[in-house]
């Protein structure tokens, strides 16, 4: 099974993904963004763009890699990745579904003010690239293809994970980390995303 966490930058995709990973046995996180970094690092400068998703090879590689992992791994794959373009959604997520792979897609939503505050808390500078994408993301998620909206404005991270688990009829393990360990883990995750 695949749990795809979509949403604008700052919506809580990565934090929620790691919360779910801690509490779903036999689960992994797959990060399509890493392929984008690889593409941008290895392409001639004039072929790189601010958005690596425009490269068909990014979409094709991720489709094939996710399909491969899904066919070889008998567990839950958690994917935190923003996709706002309906065509890209179809080329990856819908294609996976057409291959008979169980994909559950959720869009984590929050107000623009909340998203900006969350980006600030992870040390993003004002008017950073992620902040500049908020309007584009919010507009993109209005398309009917992006179902499974979850309003995260007033939900704690654990509540978001539990809501997703409830929708999927999954029983989460108790999180045995101390509150201090949880805070450290989340702080490290924020640092990693900058």
> What strands, in cross-sheet order, belong to the sheet with 149-151?
27-29, 76-80, 2-7, 103-109, 149-151
The CATH code of the domain that includes 62 is 3.40.50.300
Residues of the chain predicted below pLDDT 70: 186-187, 189-194
Distance CA 127, CA 42 (A): 27
Domain around 179: 2-192
Count of CB atoms situated within 10 Å of the CB of 158: 14
Domain count, the chain: 1
| Closest to 24 (Cα-Cα) out of 149, 151, 161 | 161
What pLDDT, on the 0 to 100 scale, is given for residue 98?
Answer: 98
Distance CA 54, CA 35 (A): 13
- CA distances 57 to 35, 51, 71, 77, Å, are 10, 13, 21, 21
What pLDDT, on the 0 to 100 scale, is given for residue 190?
Answer: 61
Distance CA 131, CA 9 (A): 7
């Amino acid at each position: 099974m695949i749990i795809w966490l979509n949403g604008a930058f700052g919506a809580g995709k990565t934090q929620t993904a790691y919360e779910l990973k801690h509490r779903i046995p036999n689960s992994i996180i797959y990060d399509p963004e890493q392929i984008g970094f690889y593409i941008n690092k290895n392409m001639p400068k004039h072929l790189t763009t601010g958005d690596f998703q425009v490269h068909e090879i990014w979409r094709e590689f991720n489709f094939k890699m996710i399909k491969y992992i899904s066919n070889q791994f008998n567990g839950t794959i958690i994917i935190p990745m923003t996709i706002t373009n309906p065509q890209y959604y179809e080329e990856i997520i819908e294609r996976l579904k057409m291959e008979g792979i169980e994909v559950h897609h959720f869009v984590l939503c929050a107000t623009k003010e909340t998203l900006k505050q969350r980006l600030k808390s992870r040390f993003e500078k004002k008017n950073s690239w992620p902040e500049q994408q908020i309007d584009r993301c919010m507009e993109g998620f209005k398309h009917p293809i992006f179902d499974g909206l979850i309003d995260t404005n007033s939900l704690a991270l654990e509540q978001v994970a539990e809501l997703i688990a409830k929708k999927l009829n999954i029983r989460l393990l108790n999180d045995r980390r101390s509150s201090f360990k949880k805070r450290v883990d989340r702080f490290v995750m924020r640092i990693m995303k900058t």
